[in-house]
Structures are given as structure tokens and as C-alpha cells.
Amino acid sequence: MSTDVMIYADDLTKRFGSLRALDRIRFEVSRGEVVGFLGPNGAGKSTTMRILTCFISPSDGTAKVHGHDVFDEPLEVRRKIGYLPQRAPLYQDMLVWDYLRFVADMRGLDPTTFKSRMRKIVEVCGLAQVLGMDINTLSHGYRQRVGLGQALLHDPPILILDEPTSDLDPNEKAEVIRYIKEIGKERTILLSTHNLAEVETACARAIIISKGRIVADGPLDEIRARSGKIRYTLSVSEQTAERGKAPSVAEVQSALRALAGVRGVNELPTDEKAHAFELAGDQDGDLRSDLFRLVVSKGWTLLELRRDSQTLEDVFRDLTKGDERRDRRLGRDADDDGEAADKKDTPERSESPKEVAASGG
Ligand SMILES: Nc1ncnc2c1ncn2[C@@H]1O[C@H](COP(=O)(O)OP(=O)(O)OP(=O)(O)O)[C@@H](O)[C@H]1O
Ligand SMILES: [Mg+2]
């Protein structure tokens, strides 16, 4: 394993009873990478992050952070990471300032460093208005901001952020993503989110997980190209035929379907007096000339013709369709060893404040 590998997961498996939440996942994140960790609800993102941050142990496999094994050297791991759990666990009866001070003490920050870090945290997380407030009086979004502040306070080289922007307002979302991109220049960040636009903004690489398995891992361009398809959008006027009668939807659709190289023709809604369609063709080909010639030969009027790569969202949907919990249910028979492991290492679902405070190392 190269010394530049900051996060390492090898054959990581996690069983919860008969559910295989993670199934031999394997990936590496190198120094300086900002990686989007994507997947549908229940795919296993938080479970992976909880293993990497030492809050639960894997049923099988190895995980290392900054070269330290999460099982054998949890304190070393926790010193190197800032972790924002999906549901930021906070001490409800503390003032925001006192809570962050407490986290700084746990992390062993000296007063001067604390002050300078707090200036940055207050600015980035937009905390100026709430520093003197009780945590239990904060709105959900502000609690998320405090949780993010806690993760960044000790300026860790590795950040594991589980949906850091969920529940933030659009301005704050953009600000946090801008900051993540900024600090990602010299840190390693694993960022889970359901917002694919955020991944496009902040990350050069994504890992997509589905049903506990990695289904894509690579630069965003490669992932977009992965479906091997190109998407075309075409619309023809429903009225002005040059000769003969105006075309019907069915007529256009069947002519498109009959064209060589065209796959999956779907009608699109449109406000214009037009028939609009979306269709797919091979990655290497270009169907625009054939589509244009078809429209001309029929005497129809072409209003729009576009050729686009698949979007990250298209590929995400293709790769994760039908990700349902029951798909992963193991046969009882197959889980003899699983039961024992799960009794040992299945904790309560949500993180307690103690867990995060304990990550002070
Ligand atoms: N402590 C637990 N006990 C039992 N099942 C669990 C536990 N933690 C997670 N699971 C199950 O493991 C699967 C993966 O959950 P996980 O929270 O990792 O998904 P996720 O990808 O983070 O989803 P989301 O996008 O909804 O946050 C789910 O089916 C979940 O119900
Ligand atoms: Mg989650």
C-alpha cells in the first residue's frame, strides 16, 4: 500500500443480522483527493463511514486510515480524521461555544490555536449568530453547521462527511461545498451526498455503492462515459409538414425506432406544438446526420436536435435501479458465521455525543 493512500478498504463486509449491509467493498482514496460517495438510501454509505471512523467494526475485511488499522489503532485513526455523522450528535444542553470549546479540549488544542481555528469555523459554518445559544434551541440546519464545525475544528488531514449539506439552506449549501472544494486542495475528503450537482462541483472522482457493493469508482468523466451511451433529444413540429399531413406521435416514434443504431425512444413532454423524443445511441457513433436526413425525407420540420453525454444522474440511476433492502437478505442458512459476528458488533443505530467526543483521541 503506497504511503499516499489515506483511506483503504479491502474486502470490507458488514452484516446486520441477515442483512449484508456491505459486501466485500474495496477502494482506496489517496492524499488530496475529494471523493463523492454516492448511493441510494440504504446502500451502505453511512455504514462504510462508521467503520472508517471506528464507530462500528466490520464483520470481515480490513480498513485503514492514514495507514492505521481501524481495529488495532483506533486512537491514531481518530486523531487524523474529522467526522460529521449523518445525524450530528450534539450535547443538547450546552451552549454552541462551550460545546466547540469542549471538543477542542478533547482534541488537545491550545488556546491560541483554538481561537484562530474558531475564527475560521465561525466564518465557514456561519455560526456567528448562534455561538451563545443552547444547542437544543437551534434549528436542524444550524445543528448541522455546529456538527460540521466540530469536524473541522482540529484541522484534520482527512475528512469523512456524511451528507454535510443535508438540511442546509441553498446559500449555506453552496458555501459549505465551496469550502470543501477549497480545503480539499490539501486534504483528503470522503463526502457522501444525494446531491449530484455537489459532486460535480466539489469532486473529481466518485464511488457509487448499491446494495452494499461498489458499482462504479473513477473520475467523473469515466463514470459518465461508463453507460456506453449517448443521449439525443429531438423534436419535430406537430403542425407544419412541408407536404402531406402533419406527423402523429406514433408515426415519428416508429420512424425513429426503425433507424439503425437507435435505442430506447421515449416521448418527452413539451409546451410547444411539437413531438419531442429522447433516444439513446452508442458512445462511439453520431446519429445526428441520420436523424436529420430522416426528418427531411419525411418532410417534417426539425425544431431541435441535440447530442449529449449521459449525465452523472443518468448513470447513477442506471447503476442503482432496484436497490432494495430485501435484495440483500441472506438466506438464514448462509449466515451461520454472520449471526455471531453481528451480536458482537452491532451497536445502536445513531451516534451518541460520547462517540463523537471520544473521537477527540
Ligand atoms: N445498526 C444497524 N442495525 C441494523 N441494520 C442497520 C444498522 N445500520 C444500518 N443498517 C442497515 O444497513 C443498510 C445500509 O445502511 P446505511 O445507513 O449504511 O445506508 P446509507 O447508504 O447511508 O443510506 P442513506 O442514504 O439513507 O443514509 C440499510 O439497510 C440499513 O437499514
Ligand atoms: Mg447514510
As a CATH number, domain 5-225+321-358 is: 3.40.50.300
* Digitized pLDDT (tens) for each residue of the chain, 361 residues in all: 667 999 999 999 999 999 999 999 999 999 999 999 999 999 999 999 999 999 999 999 999 999 999 999 999 999 999 999 988 778 889 999 999 999 999 999 999 999 999 999 998 888 999 999 999 999 888 888 899 899 999 999 999 999 999 888 898 888 888 888 888 888 899 999 999 999 999 999 999 999 999 999 999 988 888 777 888 999 999 876 656 678 899 999 999 999 999 988 999 998 778 999 999 998 888 999 999 999 999 989 999 999 988 788 888 988 888 655 445 554 444 444 444 444 444 433 344 444 444 444 3
Domain 5-225+321-358 identical in fold to domain 229-309: no
pLDDT at 328: 52
What does DSSP assign to residue 317?
H
DSSP string, 73-125: -HHHHHHHEEEE-SS----TTSBHHHHHHHHHHHTT--HHHHHHHHHHHHHHH
How far away, in angstroms, is 265 Cα from ligand 2 center?
35
Topology adopted by domain 229-309: Alpha-Beta Plaits (3.30.70)
Q: Ligand 1, atom 6: nearest CA belongs to which residue? A: 16
Minimum CA distance residue for ligand 1 atom 3: 16
pTM of this structure: 0.78
Ligand at shortest distance from the CA of 41: 1
Please, what is the angle between helix 96-106 and helix 140-152, to 10°? 30
Assess whether the C-beta atom of 144 lies below 6 angstroms from ligand 1: no
Ligand 1 pocket: which of 18, 46, 330, 355 to mutate (most atoms within 8 A of CB): 46
For β-strands 263-268 and 34-38, DSSP reports them as unpaired
Q: Mark out the alpha helices in the chain (DSSP H runs).
A: 45-52, 74-80, 96-106, 111-125, 140-152, 170-183, 196-202, 220-225, 249-258, 288-298, 312-320, 336-345, 353-358
pLDDT at 351: 45
Q: Which residues contact 281 (CB under 8 A, 6 or more apart)?
A: 229, 230, 232, 261, 262, 263, 287
Give 335 Cα–ligand 1 centroid separation in angstroms: 18
CA distance 307 to 314: 14
Q: What are the boundaries of each domain within the chain? A: 5-225+321-358, 229-309
pLDDT of 345 reads 41
- Maximum CA extent, the chain: 83
Which protein residue's CA is at the shortest distance from atom 18 of ligand 1? 44
Residue 236: how many other CB atoms lie within 10 Å: 27
Dihedral sign for Cα atoms in the order 68, 71, 72, 74: positive
> Does the beta carbon of 157 sit less than 6 angstroms from any atom of ligand 1?
no
DSSP code, position 153: T
**pLDDT value for 244:** 63
Determine the atom of ligand 1 nearest the C-alpha atom of 17.
4
